[in-house]
Amino acid sequence: MINDLPKNIVEDIAVAVALEKESAESKIWYVYLINLKNQPIENILITSKGYGEKDGEQVKTSTLRHMMPIIEGNSTALIEPIDEQTFGLNNEYWVSYYIGRDIYDKKFIFVPESIVEGNFIKLPVLNKVGVMIK
């Protein structure tokens, strides 16, 4: 039965962690969904959570859910702010959306310590620096 489902492959969709503001005391980070397609995506549902090991103990953050009605082609949407203290965990974003009547979904996972300056790029569409998973 599962073999009868269409294999809708997610392409040209990215999740990015962007450095918004930096001061001597702190850095402010936001997570964005980037639609690199030329067409809109609709009825977007995103779940986010963090999990992993910190100081020898298993840690889990709350699971958050976000809903967006539409993201136009070649544009972005803010998902949530993210705290630097979670960068040592797996930060998972499960994105589901529709194009027409077809549903697509994909997990994007920022592994521990992947959100570091050595991995920064200039993020497309956003024109900010950060880390992106496509």
What domains appear along the chain, each with residue ranges and CATH number?
Answer: 2-133 (2.60.40)
Share of the chain above pLDDT 90, in %: 87
CA dihedral 118, 124, 126, 131 (to 10 degrees): -30
Evaluate if residue 7 carries a pLDDT over 90: no
pLDDT at 1 over 60: no
Q: What is the pTM of this model?
A: 0.93
What Cα–Cα distance (Å) separates residue 94 from each residue in 23, 28, 117?
31, 22, 24
| DSSP-derived secondary structure for 23-54 | -SS-EEEEEEEEE-SSS-EEEEEEEEEEEEEE
111 DSSP assignment: -
Assigned token pair, 13: 């969709």
pLDDT at 23 over 70: yes
The one-character DSSP state at 55 is T
Average pLDDT for residues 17-43, to the nearest whole number? Answer: 94
Q: Please provide the size of the chain in residues.
A: 134
